[in-house]
Chain A
Amino acid sequence: MERVPVLKIGDILLVSIQIDMEDQTALQLQEDLADRIVETGCHGVIIDISALDIVDSFVGRTLATIASISRVLDAETVVVGMRPAVAITLVELGLSLPGIRTALNVELGMALLARERDFEFKDIDDDEDDADEAVVAAS
């Protein structure tokens, strides 16, 4: 069975799925990611599926499970790079992937994670004024 590598880039874990995964490979990835989140203390996970030409209900469920597991481990997951034909097919299949954050590419995914983390820190620091938040949101 092939294994999908998990890379640490700064404080983000990046998973780029480059193979047509057997079900067992998808389950292994779920476990590997949970381990790496704990091991590294990363707060963000990006899963790049731009190389996948289909996402069926098994892979869809795996992505949703990864997102839930990471959240419990204090990390946010963003799925990036879904092809248009895959999105159309997923919706017709009946899978709308609720609870999964998405972005169009890795760069936008990283920006999304950075912004969320920023907001989280700001929430703690209450005397931050609204104008500053607006600037962050617009950037």
Chain B
Amino acid sequence: MTAGDDIAAMETLAIRSDQDVVRVRQLVRTLAVSVKLSLVDQTKLVTAASELARNTLVYGGGGTVAAGRVDNGRRSGIRIVFSDQGPGIPDLDLALTDGYTTGGGLGLGLSGARRLVDEFDIDTAVGQGTTISVIKWCR
């Protein structure tokens, strides 16, 4: 994400239940198709979104997602922002390590999601919450 990127209107959803995580996947799939991401890239983006939405629910205690088309003059893509006001992530490097989990998961959600997208930014503060922004660009 750079200053020159043009962001179209973002759609937002609350993430408060398992069902909302399913809705996030469906929203992201629709957007990914609309900018004509390749099938593999659609699959990668929806999978990353599923991981991050579940983290927002399980660790962030719920939150919101905003997603929409982004253009940088050369390419279009999809940007998705997950926000929660949960406990935050005390050690980001550790949380981004494959296999690290505090919740009995596989510990692949954060690290895997980062590999599956083109841009991945985390803003987190202990006691205040976590915001994760990702972009997948069309090739």
Contacts and interface: CB of A to CB of B under 8 A. Distances in A.
Interface stretch (B3-11, B37-45, B62-70, B71-79): B37-45
B132 to A, nearest CB: 15
B25 A20 contact: yes
B108 A88 contact: no
B67 to A, nearest CB: 16
Interface stretch (B47-55, B83-91, B119-127): B47-55
A54 B106 contact: no
B40, B42, B111 — which one has the most chain A CB atoms within 10 A of its CB? B40
A20 B47 contact: no
B34 interface: no
Interface in B2-60: 18-19, 21-22, 25-26, 29, 39-40, 42-44, 46-47, 50-51, 54
A102 to B, nearest CB: 17
Given A61-B105, A94-B115, A23 B29 contact: no
Interface in B90-129: 98, 105-106, 108-109, 111-113, 115-116
A6 interface: no
A60 interface: yes
A6 to B, nearest CB: 21
Contact of A20 (B26, B40, B54, B112): B26
A93 to B, nearest CB: 4
Nearest to A23: B18
Contacts of B47: 54-56, 89, 93
Contact of B46 (A53, A58, A95): A53
Nearest to A19: B22
Interface residues of A, number: 23
Contacts of B29: 53
B109 A57 contact: yes
Interface in A82-96: 83, 85-86, 88-89, 92-95
A74 interface: no
Contact of B111 (A21, A85, A94): A94
Interface of B: 18-19, 21-22, 25-26, 29, 39-40, 42-44, 46-47, 50-51, 54, 98, 105-106, 108-109, 111-113, 115-116
20 contacts: A22-B18, A53-B43, A53-B46, A54-B25, A54-B43, A56-B47, A56-B50, A57-B112, A58-B105, A61-B105, A83-B43, A85-B39, A85-B40, A85-B43, A88-B43, A89-B43, A92-B116, A93-B108, A93-B113, A94-B108
